[in-house]
Amino acid sequence: MNVGIMTFWGSVNYGAFLQAYALVQKLNREEGINAEIINFRMKRELNYYTQELRIQRNFIKVFFNIVRYEMFKTMQKALILSDMAMVSDSIDGFVEFVSGKYDVVIAGSDEVWKIDDLRGFPNPYFLFGDIKCAKMSYAASGRDDFSKLDSDQIRLLRENLREFKYIGVRDKKTYDSINDIVGDKKVFLNLDPTLTYGFSADRERGRKLLEKKFGVRTNNRCIGVMYTEQKPSKPILAKWIDQITDNRTRIIPLYDWVGGYKNRPDLTPFDLVDIISALDGLVSMYYHGVCISIITQTPVWAIESRANSNETSKLYDLVSRFNMSEYYSFSLEKAINSKLFSEFIVKPVISSNCDRESIIENDNRAFGHFVDEIKSL
């Protein structure tokens, strides 16, 4: 059974890489399945990342972003990509590109169904057109973006999705939105494959990376930060952590550049998993930072980075499903003013309500049903 995966594999983004890697590897564990990631990117998407490198005015950030961009280009060798490649915004071009090559094409995981200025609607990630094989989605996300569509676009999407043999989405808001669109067709709620693949975090390697990359000594207490500041040169959160811990805690920036601290743009996605496993705690505005903390059992506090309501936040959806919403703040300001957050920074602990093992086990059983659907085609 030849399976093509349509996802964001080429983004300069740890989460995008890890979810793509996890899903293709997980499918290839199954007997009789030969899965690969479709080597397709939209021109708009490719232009976005190259423009991002050009518009930076801060020389240090330019260097940081270039090193990270090149690292991700190198890491793409670890993905199972189709031999043939295409860069296009055309749905017709995509249909011609994949037609007859697979038994099934899967949209997902990640935010492949977001409707924004970058990719627009309709676009190839919705698998429009006659691609001469079955269509499915797994852990796809669009959240509240479907509210942007007019009635004709909703009808077009409904007709397309009703062709799908399996519709799996990643979050409750996408689940509710797609249910409203497709009516009586069954929709499944999946976890992000990063959570269920079974990454084997090497804590000892993570400690060595902390020492080598960040100069951390074995007795240093370390808090990782994955967050975005409006003014990275004046990092509010990092300075605040220094203040309440009397500078006794090492701040480890693990995503965006944080001024005044040691930043390492050369960390690979696998380095990130091992480093997070070796931390005393993590503060993350990024979805997959929280995912990695859950699978490595590292204490984590999630902070919302966008002006979302709890109903549309993918971060809130994640912590709620793992029963750890007490370790979530709706904004950086609310976190800094929270007594519980201060206590977490001083002494990071895992949420006592987090039922990690049973939630992941249940999703793995549901993945078995998804695989059965593929094999039944």
Same domain, 87 and 213: no
Residue that wins the pLDDT comparison between 360 and 235: 360
Full-model pTM = 0.94
Residue 103 lies in a domain: yes
- Model confidence pLDDT, tens digit, residues 222-272: 999 998 765 555 578 999 999 999 888 999 999 988 888 999 999 999 999
β-bridge partners, 36: 4
β-bridge partners, 72: none
Instruction: State the CATH number of the domain containing residue 298.
Output: 3.40.50
- Model confidence pLDDT, tens digit, residues 133-160: 999 999 999 977 788 899 999 999 999 9
Residue 352 lies in a domain: no
Whether 351 shows a pLDDT value over 90: the answer reads no
Mean pLDDT to the nearest integer, 121-139: 96
Determine the number of helices (DSSP H) and then strands (DSSP E) in the chain.
15, 12
Residue 342 lies in a domain: yes
Q: What is the pLDDT of residue 44?
A: 82
Upstream peptide bond of 109 is cis (omega within 30 degrees of 0): yes
Residue 341 lies in a domain: yes
Same domain, 176 and 291: no
Residue 351 lies in a domain: no
Residue that wins the pLDDT comparison between 119 and 208: 208
Residue 155 lies in a domain: yes
* 155, 124 Cβ separation under 8 angstroms: no
- H helices present in 186-310, as ranges: 193-196, 203-214, 236-244, 269-278, 287-296
Same domain, 127 and 274: no
**47-56, 145-154, 174-183, 211-220: segment of lowest average pLDDT:** 47-56
Same domain, 174 and 257: no
Same domain, 9 and 157: yes
Same domain, 245 and 210: yes
Same domain, 367 and 339: no
Residue 240 lies in a domain: yes
- Model confidence pLDDT, tens digit, residues 31-72: 999 999 999 999 887 776 666 555 556 777 888 888 999 999
Mean pLDDT to the nearest integer, 158-185: 95
Percent of the chain residues past pLDDT 90, beyond the cut: 77
Structural domains in the chain (count): 2
Same domain, 9 and 156: yes
**41-45, 73-77, 179-183, 366-370: segment of lowest average pLDDT:** 41-45
Q: Which domain holds residue 247?
A: 203-346
Mean pLDDT to the nearest integer, 5-23: 95
Same domain, 262 and 320: yes
Q: Quick one: tokens of 230?
A: 């409006």
Residue 316 lies in a domain: yes
Confidence of residue 353 (pLDDT cuts 50, 70, 90): confident
Same domain, 341 and 224: yes
Same domain, 180 and 222: no
Q: What is the pLDDT of residue 309?
A: 59
Work out the mean pLDDT of the chain and round it to a whole number: 91
Same domain, 161 and 224: no
